[in-house]
């Protein structure tokens, strides 16, 4: 598979027909498939009956119209059967909703902020401890950005990472997360409404100014999972992708430590810069 590691078909593939199973513990894939098959079966019955009718009851075959136009019994049948099917689907879906709403027991909190037209990620808390100033902007990576300009004549197919064609699905700095960890996301909007969506996580959640939404994921396997903003947010709505890089826990701890150190160094530099005596401006 031409994927940069991770779960097969977690990212959009050429000519993909169906929803991804995803890479997370919570996934609506199963329910989607049940609903799809229910629809297919009902469709075969109903359309089948229609085609039989169209064949058998044609005037050109000499069919004579019958006179009946009512049957209470039949109408009860096709009210009750759908109700039973719906109850079954509703039960399934209620289970999915309940487990999705349960953000308790998370080991990590990340705040996601949507801006026109980039994302900001702030690591708030990890393993019960606050994270010190680890946060960054994440925006469309530069070669996609050049290619997507009107009449750029650059070839979107050329943009690849490890053989996966990442046009419009890659960023300058991905969100790095540990696998096997229940992560709670706090999602807000910085200016207008955006929506944070990575299909491999199984959900999207709107990023709304003034409202703190929450959602969670627990990724099963390391990999790079790509998504996009899913709420129209202005002219570059199509150009603010999301990349989640899931790494083994140890690797993540190391990464986080480096980030924290860098943040400290940066902060020191900033304090220095804020002091005009030590930081002359050119």
Q: φ, ψ for residue 225 (rounded to 5)?
A: -115, 125
| CA dist., res. 120 & res. 141, Å (int) | 14
The least distance separating Cu ion from the CB of residue 276, rounded to whole angstroms, comes to: 40
User: Which of Cu ion, other proteins, none sits in contact with 104, Cβ below 5 to 8 A by type?
Assistant: none
The least distance separating other proteins from the CB of residue 273, rounded to whole angstroms, comes to: 30
The least distance separating other proteins from the CB of residue 194, rounded to whole angstroms, comes to: 10
The least distance separating other proteins from the CB of residue 29, rounded to whole angstroms, comes to: 8
| CA dist., res. 196 & res. 75, Å (int) | 44
Residue ranges binding Cu ion (CB under 5 A): 194, 229, 233, 237
User: Which of Cu ion, other proteins, none sits in contact with 49, Cβ below 5 to 8 A by type?
Assistant: other proteins
The least distance separating Cu ion from the CB of residue 6, rounded to whole angstroms, comes to: 25
* CA angle, 146 then 229 then 263, to 5°: 80
User: Which of other proteins, Cu ion, none sits in contact with 274, Cβ below 5 to 8 A by type?
Assistant: none
The least distance separating other proteins from the CB of residue 132, rounded to whole angstroms, comes to: 28
| CA dist., res. 190 & res. 218, Å (int) | 26
Residue of 132, 144, 134, 117 lying closest to 177 (CA atoms): 134
Q: Which two tokens stand for residue 106?
A: 């998370």
Q: Are 173 and 136 in contact (CB under 8 A)?
A: yes
Residue number with CB closer to other proteins (222 or 227): 227
| CA dist., res. 228 & res. 221, Å (int) | 20
Q: Which residues contact 34 (CB under 8 A, 6 or more apart)?
A: 89, 92
The least distance separating other proteins from the CB of residue 204, rounded to whole angstroms, comes to: 5
User: Which of Cu ion, other proteins, none sits in contact with 277, Cβ below 5 to 8 A by type?
Assistant: none
User: Which of other proteins, Cu ion, none sits in contact with 15, Cβ below 5 to 8 A by type?
Assistant: other proteins
* CA angle, 168 then 173 then 178, to 5°: 110
Run of H or E including 143? helix 142-147
Residue number with CB closer to other proteins (152 or 270): 152
Residue number with CB closer to Cu ion (201 or 229): 229
Residue number with CB closer to other proteins (86 or 257): 86
User: Which of other proteins, Cu ion, none sits in contact with 2, Cβ below 5 to 8 A by type?
Assistant: none
Run of H or E including 271? helix 249-274
Q: Are 226 and 242 in contact (CB under 8 A)?
A: yes
Residue number with CB closer to other proteins (213 or 260): 213
What number of other Cβ atoms are within 10 A of residue 217's Cβ?
27
User: Which of Cu ion, other proteins, none sits in contact with 17, Cβ below 5 to 8 A by type?
Assistant: other proteins
| CA dist., res. 86 & res. 68, Å (int) | 30
Residue number with CB closer to other proteins (104 or 235): 235
Residue number with CB closer to other proteins (160 or 181): 160
């Amino acid at each position: 598979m031409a994927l940069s590691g991770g779960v097969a078909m977690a990212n959009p593939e050429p000519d993909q027909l169906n929803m991804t199973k995803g890479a997370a513990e919570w996934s609506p894939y199963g329910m989607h498939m049940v609903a799809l098959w229910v629809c297919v079966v009902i469709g075969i019955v109903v359309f089948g009956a229609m085609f039989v009718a169209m064949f058998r009851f044609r005037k050109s075959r000499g069919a004579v119209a019958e006179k009946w136009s009512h049957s209470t019994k039949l109408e009860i049948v096709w009210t009750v059967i759908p109700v039973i099917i719906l109850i079954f689907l509703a039960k399934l879906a209620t289970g999915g909703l309940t487990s999705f709403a349960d953000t308790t027991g998370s080991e990590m909190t990340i705040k996601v902020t949507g801006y026109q037209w980039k994302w900001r990620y702030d690591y708030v808390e990890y393993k019960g401890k606050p994270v010190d100033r680890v946060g960054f902007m994440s925006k469309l990576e530069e070669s996609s950005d050049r290619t997507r300009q009107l009449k750029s004549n650059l070839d979107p197919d050329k943009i690849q990472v490890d053989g996966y064609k990442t046009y419009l699905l890659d960023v300058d700095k991905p969100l790095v997360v540990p696998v096997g960890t229940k992560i709670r996301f706090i999602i807000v909007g910085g200016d207008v409404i955006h929506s944070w969506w990575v299909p491999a996580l199984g959900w999207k959640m709107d990023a709304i100014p003034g409202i703190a939404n929450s959602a969670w994921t627990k990724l099963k396997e390391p990999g790079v999972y790509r998504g996009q903003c899913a709420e129209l947010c202005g002219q570059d709505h199509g150009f603010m992708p999301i990349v989640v890089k899931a790494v083994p826990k140890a690797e993540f701890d190391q990464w986080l430590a480096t980030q924290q150190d860098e943040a400290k160094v940066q902060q020191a530099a900033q304090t220095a810069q804020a002091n005009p005596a030590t930081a002359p401006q050119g």
